[in-house]
Chains A and B, each alone.
Chain A
Amino acid sequence: MTALDAVVLFGTLAAIVGYGVWKTRHAQDAAAYLHGGYADKWHTIGLSVMATQASAITFLSTPGQAYTDGMRFLQFYFGLPLAMVVLSVVFIPRFYGLRVYTAYELLETRFDRKTRQLAAFLFLIQRGLSAGITIYAPAIVLSTVLGWPLQLTSISIGALVILYTVVGGTRAVSQTQKHQMVVMLGGMAVAFVVVVMRLPPELPLGRAVRLAGVLGKMNIVDFSARLDSRYTFWSGITGGFFLALSYFGTDQSQVQRYLSGRTITESRLGLLFNGLFKIPMQFLILLTGVMVFVFHQTERPPVFFNEPALAAVRASPRAGELATLEASQAALAARKQTAIRAWSTALDRQDQSSVAQGEDQLRAAEAGTEVVRGNVRRLVHEVAPRAEANDTDYVFISFVLGHLPRGLVGLLLAVILCAALSSTASELTALGGTTVIDFYKRSFRPDATDAQTVRAAKLFTAGWGVLAVVFAALASMVDNLIQAVNILGSLFYGTILGLFLVALFTKRLRATPVFVAALFSEALVIVAWLTTDIGFLWFNVIGCALVVALSWALQALGRSARPATSA
Chain B
Amino acid sequence: MGGSGPGAPPPARSGEERPRDELAAAPPFLTWRAIYAIVLGALAVEVVVFAAITAALR
Show the binding face of A for B, using Cβ within 8 Å.
Answer: 29-31, 34, 74, 78, 81-82, 84-85, 88-89, 93-94, 96-101, 105-106, 108-109, 113, 209-210, 212-214, 218-223, 233, 263-265, 268-269, 272, 275-276, 279-280, 436-438, 440-442, 446-450, 453
B1 and A449 contacting across the interface, CB-CB below 8 Å? yes
List, sorted by A's number, 22 A–B pairs whose CB atoms are closer than 8 Å.
A31-B5, A81-B42, A94-B14, A99-B18, A212-B57, A213-B58, A219-B58, A220-B51, A221-B51, A223-B51, A263-B22, A264-B22, A276-B39, A276-B42, A279-B43, A436-B6, A441-B5, A442-B8, A442-B9, A447-B3, A453-B1, A453-B5
- Alpha-carbon gap, A527 to B15, bound state (A): 40
A275 and B39 contacting across the interface, CB-CB below 8 Å? yes
B50 and A220 contacting across the interface, CB-CB below 8 Å? yes
Closest chain B CB from A389 CB (angstroms) = 30
Q: Which residues of chain A come closer than 8 Å to B11, judged between CB atoms?
A: 98-99, 109
Apart from A81-B42, A438-B7, A442-B7: 8 A-B pairs, beta carbons within 8 A = A81-B43, A88-B36, A97-B17, A109-B10, A221-B54, A265-B26, A265-B27, A448-B1
Closest chain B CB from A34 CB (angstroms) = 6
Closest chain A CB from B40 CB (angstroms) = 6
- Alpha-carbon gap, A233 to B50, bound state (A): 11
How many pairs of residues, A versus B, come closer than 8 Å at their CB atoms?
Answer: 132
Closest chain B CB from A500 CB (angstroms) = 14
Q: Which residues of chain B come closer than 8 Å to A448, judged between CB atoms?
A: 1, 7
The one of A31, A94, A108 that contacts B6, using a Cβ cutoff of 8 Å: A31
B25 and A105 contacting across the interface, CB-CB below 8 Å? no
B25 and A34 contacting across the interface, CB-CB below 8 Å? no
- Alpha-carbon gap, A81 to B28, bound state (A): 20
- Alpha-carbon gap, A280 to B58, bound state (A): 21
Q: Which residues of chain B come closer than 8 Å to A82, judged between CB atoms?
A: 40, 43
Show the binding face of B for A, using Cβ within 8 Å.
Answer: 1-3, 5-12, 14-18, 22-23, 25-28, 32, 35-36, 38-40, 42-43, 46-47, 50-51, 53-54, 56-58
Q: Which residues of chain A come closer than 8 Å to B10, judged between CB atoms?
A: 98-100, 105-106, 108-109
B2 and A449 contacting across the interface, CB-CB below 8 Å? yes
Task: Decide: A78 near B43, CB < 8 A? Known: A98-B11, A220-B50, A269-B27.
Answer: yes
Q: Which residues of chain B come closer than 8 Å to A74, judged between CB atoms?
A: 50
A210 and B57 contacting across the interface, CB-CB below 8 Å? yes
The one of A30, A88, A221 that contacts B50, using a Cβ cutoff of 8 Å: A221
Closest chain A CB from B22 CB (angstroms) = 6
Nearest opposing residue in chain B for A440, CB measure: B7
B6 and A437 contacting across the interface, CB-CB below 8 Å? yes
Closest chain A CB from B32 CB (angstroms) = 8
Q: Which residues of chain B come closer than 8 Å to A450, judged between CB atoms?
A: 1, 5
- Alpha-carbon gap, A269 to B36, bound state (A): 10
Closest chain A CB from B18 CB (angstroms) = 5
Q: Which residues of chain B come closer than 8 Å to A280, judged between CB atoms?
A: 46
Taking chain A's interface residues, is the majority helix, strand, or loop, or is none over half, making it mixed?
helix
Closest chain B CB from A8 CB (angstroms) = 35
Q: Which residues of chain A come closer than 8 Å to B1, judged between CB atoms?
A: 29-30, 448-450, 453
The one of A30, A100, A219, A276 that contacts B38, using a Cβ cutoff of 8 Å: A276
B57 and A101 contacting across the interface, CB-CB below 8 Å? no
A446 and B8 contacting across the interface, CB-CB below 8 Å? yes
Closest 8 CB pairs of A and B: A441-B7, A213-B57, A97-B14, A220-B50, A450-B1, A218-B57, A101-B6, A97-B15
Q: Which residues of chain A come closer than 8 Å to B3, judged between CB atoms?
A: 446-447
A108 and B9 contacting across the interface, CB-CB below 8 Å? yes
- Alpha-carbon gap, A437 to B39, bound state (A): 34
Closest chain A CB from B23 CB (angstroms) = 5
A97 and B57 contacting across the interface, CB-CB below 8 Å? no
Q: Which residues of chain A come closer than 8 Å to B5, judged between CB atoms?
A: 30-31, 441, 450, 453
The one of A78, A264, A441 that contacts B23, using a Cβ cutoff of 8 Å: A264
Nearest opposing residue in chain A for B50, CB measure: A220
- Alpha-carbon gap, A247 to B38, bound state (A): 22
- Alpha-carbon gap, A93 to B24, bound state (A): 9
- Alpha-carbon gap, A89 to B39, bound state (A): 13
- Alpha-carbon gap, A441 to B5, bound state (A): 9
Nearest opposing residue in chain B for A222, CB measure: B54
A109 and B12 contacting across the interface, CB-CB below 8 Å? yes
B54 and A97 contacting across the interface, CB-CB below 8 Å? no
Q: Which residues of chain B come closer than 8 Å to A34, judged between CB atoms?
A: 6
- Alpha-carbon gap, A40 to B13, bound state (A): 26
Nearest opposing residue in chain A for B37, CB measure: A85
Q: Which residues of chain A come closer than 8 Å to B54, judged between CB atoms?
A: 218-222
Closest chain B CB from A307 CB (angstroms) = 32
Q: Which residues of chain A come closer than 8 Å to B40, judged between CB atoms?
A: 81-82, 85
Q: Which residues of chain B come closer than 8 Å to A100, judged between CB atoms?
A: 10
Nearest opposing residue in chain B for A237, CB measure: B47
- Alpha-carbon gap, A503 to B7, bound state (A): 19
- Alpha-carbon gap, A276 to B5, bound state (A): 35
- Alpha-carbon gap, A233 to B32, bound state (A): 27
Task: Decide: A101 near B7, CB < 8 A? Known: A96-B18, A210-B57, A272-B35.
Answer: yes
- B5, B18, B27, B56 — most chain A CB neighbours (10 Å): B5
Closest chain B CB from A501 CB (angstroms) = 17
Q: Which residues of chain A come closer than 8 Å to B39, judged between CB atoms?
A: 81, 84-85, 272, 275-276
Nearest opposing residue in chain B for A233, CB measure: B47
Nearest opposing residue in chain B for A433, CB measure: B6
Q: Which residues of chain B come closer than 8 Å to A93, judged between CB atoms?
A: 14, 23
